[in-house]
Amino acid sequence: MGQVLDEDAMDQPVKPTTLARRATSYDVARKAGVSQSAVSRCFAPGGSIAPATRKRIEKVAAELGYRPNALAQGLISGRTNMVAVLISSLTNLYYPEVLEELTRRLTERDTRVLLFSLRAEGEVDEVLDQVWRHSLDGVISAARLSDAQIQLFEDHRVPLVLYNRVPAKARAASVCCDSAAGEVELVERLLAAGHRDFGIIAGPEDSYVGEERRRAALDRLAAAGFNDVPVVRGDFSYSGGREGLRQLMAGGLSLNAVICGNDQMAIGAIDCAREAFKLKIPDDLSIVGFDGTAPASWSSYRVTSIRQPVRRMTEAAVSMLIERIENENTSAERRLFAGEFVRGASARLA
């Protein structure tokens, strides 16, 4: 405002000091009496520039409210500081927590998050298209990706980190909570407490962790001599849990313990057991879940469960991604985190 500048002032006959459009590095350069590339270097991480020059440029930049245009930067440098986060369904109570942590950590590392919330399988291809088109630096996926899709990331040289899933055959970095170990711990504790009549409300077939948990529970039970454990499936939702319990009970068998694919279904099962079957939890029936979500700890439920170490897992996912973005050739790594047993009060334990 009203500031008089050096020689440049009269080169251009009439130049309004207030630009309609946003100030560019050029505007700053002219007003500061330096070249445009000097301005660029001034804002670049390790740009060599004399302290005095830098100071002058910064002053003018501040006056003009100049900010480097991220699009132009990305176009030329090939780096956008944007990554995609793929989530299958936000309605699963477990994901908001994960999403919150991921975005926060990425933001801390000066990386923007492009959110893609998938409902159908088919949508993945469209999302990947966007990833390439926007030159995203990387992707964290908590959604199902086929081997072919994972291969595309290698072709496009876009770093990828899978969250709570591992690829069938393709190689890719991944961060997981050890579902099998967690499920085994739950089963063993139930066995130790004398439970003998089990039922399982598993997750949907197309869920990686769902299948892993179901398999681990069944295997451990088989090892203990229980071979015909009834299994029904739910969609990880509250009503899925209710419906699952109803189906199990419809068999007419007397259950001791119900193993649910996640906390939300466990909550549904608990409510259903109490309401529809007048059962006391855990006296009449033990119910366990998985994840360690917040609602599972509400005093009406106090679900016995395995808590995923979300903080450490998200931290790992973000670190791995950034590392892969910064270092082209970081080998595929798989990090497996142990879950933490949550005693709760929905299962009778020794």
Binding site for a second copy (CB under 8 A): 22, 67-72, 74-75, 80, 82, 85, 89-91, 93, 95-97, 99-100, 103-104, 107, 112-117, 119, 129-130, 132-135, 156, 238, 267-268, 270-272, 274-275, 294-295, 298-301
SS3 41: helix
Query: What tokens does 251 get?
Result: 């068999």
Task: Determine the residue type at 291.
Answer: D
User: Could you tell me the smallest distance in angstroms from the CB atom of residue 93 to DNA?
Assistant: 41
Annotate 101-147 with DSSP letters as a single string: HHHHHHHHTT-EEEEEE--STTHHHHHHHHHHHTT-SEEEEES---H
Our finding on whether 81 is near DNA (CB under 7 A) is no
User: Could you tell me the smallest distance in angstroms from the CB atom of residue 105 to DNA?
Assistant: 24
Which of 195, 197, 227, 233 lies closest to 214 in space, CA to CA? 233
Binding to DNA, residues 9-28 (CB under 7 A): 21-22, 24-26
5 or 298: CB nearest a second copy: 298
Helix (H), strand (E) at residue 199: strand 198-202
4 or 71: CB nearest DNA: 71
Partner from a second copy, DNA, none binding residue 49, C-beta < 5-8 Å depending on class: DNA
User: Could you tell me the smallest distance in angstroms from the CB atom of residue 149 to DNA?
Assistant: 22
Q: Which positions ≥6 away from 199 have C-beta within 8 Å?
A: 229, 230, 231, 232, 248, 253, 255, 257, 258, 259
User: Could you tell me the smallest distance in angstroms from the CB atom of residue 246 to a second copy?
Assistant: 13
Binding to DNA, residues 27-66 (CB under 7 A): 33-38, 40-41, 43-44, 48-50, 52-54, 66
Give the pairing type, strands 305-307 and 340-342. Answer: antiparallel
Binding site for DNA (CB under 7 A): 21-22, 24-26, 33-38, 40-41, 43-44, 48-50, 52-54, 66-69, 72-73, 75-77
